[in-house]
């Protein structure tokens, strides 16, 4: 499970008591995620009918000074009809609190299922929902730079070092030179908004073919909207290990997106390059987690080669994976 910091039941109960959500009933660690500790929390509910929430403790890669951006974005998008959970504020109006020396936030629980093998219909709905978020977020008053862009990916891979990368898997060190070359070709003038940049299937809750919730916005930033679409394409259109591309899913995702927000011609041309950059972002972060994960953390390491395989696919496929 992705729990770095164990919490005593009495500490959790005291925390929940600061919110108008009823008394704590139960709390269970959530397996997904590698950067934060998460719990599914059940309470008696403010009206006694019972309620569920997600409690997140911020552990890694998040500057706590940026929490107003992340949590404010959830409230902003939720208020504009996007399928995004709102932040639960405590009785004093705070969006976050301190617990066990770390910062935590209580987030609305949205019911739904994260799919392991998405269908084309589900991917089409995800594309449309992503475009809706991009349009709604254009006027969000706060901003945040992308701390995991192509330059940062190259720097992270260089810090890992070729020898250590080869120790993870043969051929992984190729990512260093790939990132350097891509960094010098990166498009800088594509249309921008606030983007999710981490919309994997486990960050989308489905009810059948409908998107019920988009969660985990803790990598959200001001970025090219087409890059966010490329990230989502790489996350949704392949077998988990990157060994097989599902063309129907990939094309449906783009079709769904363009049904809400048509891409510009420069965006369409840039998608293959943006997808390569998206793959390198996850190669870099997974390699860092593999090499630097804290001992004793209850978290499963993810294979960086799953995204090197995707990278090789995009490098040789041109625009075909994105358009019918």
What distance in Å separates the CA atoms of residue 285 and residue 267, rounded to the nearest whole number? Answer: 25
Confidence of residue 293 (pLDDT cuts 50, 70, 90): low
Contacts of 56 (CB under 8 A, 6+ apart): 36, 37, 38, 104, 105, 107
The mean per-residue pLDDT over the stretch 247-266 comes to 98
The mean per-residue pLDDT over the stretch 293-307 comes to 74
- Are residues 56 and 38 in contact, defined by beta-carbon separation less than 8 angstroms? yes
Pick the residue with more confidence: 64 or 147? 147
**Residue range 73-122, pLDDT digits in tens:** 999 999 999 999 999 999 999 999 998 889 999 999 999 999 999 999 99
Domain spans, the chain: 9-108, 120-317
Question: What pLDDT does 1 receive?
Answer: 41
pLDDT of 189 over the 80 cut: yes
The mean per-residue pLDDT over the stretch 273-293 comes to 94
Question: What pLDDT does 245 receive?
Answer: 97
Count Cβ neighbours within 10 Å for each residue of 259-272 and write b for 16 or more, e otherwise: eebebeeebbebbb
Its pTM stands at: 0.91
Question: Looking at the DSSP assignment, which residues form a beta bridge with residue 104?
Answer: 57, 97
Question: What is the residue-averaged pLDDT of the chain?
Answer: 93
Neighbours of 214 (CB within 10 A): 24
Confidence of residue 296 (pLDDT cuts 50, 70, 90): low
The mean per-residue pLDDT over the stretch 187-194 comes to 97
Q: Which two tokens stand for residue 230?
A: 């490329």
Pick the residue with more confidence: 323 or 40? 40
Can you say whether the dihedral through the CA atoms of 166, 32, 293, 284 is positive or negative?
A: positive
Confidence of residue 261 (pLDDT cuts 50, 70, 90): very high
pLDDT of 54 over the 60 cut: yes
Q: What secondary structure does DSSP assign to 168-194, as a single string?
A: HSTTTTHHHHHHHHHHTT----S-EEE
- Considering the segment(s) 9-108 as one domain, its CATH architecture is 2-Layer Sandwich (3.30)
What distance in Å separates the CA atoms of residue 153 and residue 146, rounded to the nearest whole number? Answer: 11
The share of the chain scoring above pLDDT 90, in percent, equals 83
- Are residues 287 and 165 in contact, defined by beta-carbon separation less than 8 angstroms? yes
For the domain spanning 120-317, the CATH number is: 3.90.1200.10
As a 3-state breakdown, the chain gives helix, strand, coil percent values, each rounded to 5, of 45, 15, 40
Confidence of residue 295 (pLDDT cuts 50, 70, 90): low
């Amino acid at each position: 499970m992705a729990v770095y910091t164990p919490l005593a039941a009495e500490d959790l109960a005291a925390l929940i008591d600061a919110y108008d959500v009823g008394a704590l009933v139960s709390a269970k660690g959530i397996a997904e995620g590698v950067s934060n500790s998460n719990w599914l929390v059940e309470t008696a509910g403010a009206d006694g009918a019972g309620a569920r929430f997600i409690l997140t403790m911020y552990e890694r890669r998040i500057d706590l000074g940026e929490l107003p951006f992340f949590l404010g974005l959830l409230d902003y998008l939720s208020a504009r009809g996007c399928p995004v959970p709102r932040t639960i504020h405590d009785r004093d109006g705070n969006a976050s609190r301190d617990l066990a020396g770390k910062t935590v936030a209580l987030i609305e629980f949205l019911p739904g299922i994260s799919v392991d093998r998405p269908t084309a219909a589900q991917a089409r709905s995800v594309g449309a929902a992503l475009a809706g978020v991009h349009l709604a977020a254009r006027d969000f008053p706060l901003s945040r730079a992308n701390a995991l862009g192509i330059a940062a990916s190259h720097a992270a891979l260089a810090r890992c070092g070729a020898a250590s990368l080869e120790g993870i898997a043969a051929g992984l060190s190729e990512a260093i030179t790939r990132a350097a070359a891509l960094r010098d070709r990166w498009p800088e003038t594509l249309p921008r908004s606030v983007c999710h940049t981490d919309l994997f299937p486990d960050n989308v809750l489905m009810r059948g073919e409908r998107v019920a919730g988009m969660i985990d916005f803790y990598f959200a930033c001001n970025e090219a909207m087409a890059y966010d679409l490329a990230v989502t394409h790489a996350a949704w259109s392949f077998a988990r290990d990157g060994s097989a591309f599902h063309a129907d899913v990939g094309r449906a995702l783009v079709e769904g997106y363009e049904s809400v927000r048509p891409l510009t011609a420069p965006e369409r041309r840039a998608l293959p390059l943006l997808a390569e950059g998206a793959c390198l972002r996850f190669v870099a972060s997974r390699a860092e987690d593999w090499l630097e994960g804290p001992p004793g953390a209850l978290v499963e390491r993810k294979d960086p080669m799953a995204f090197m395989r995707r990278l090789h696919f995009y490098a040789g496929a041109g625009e075909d994976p994105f358009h019918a």
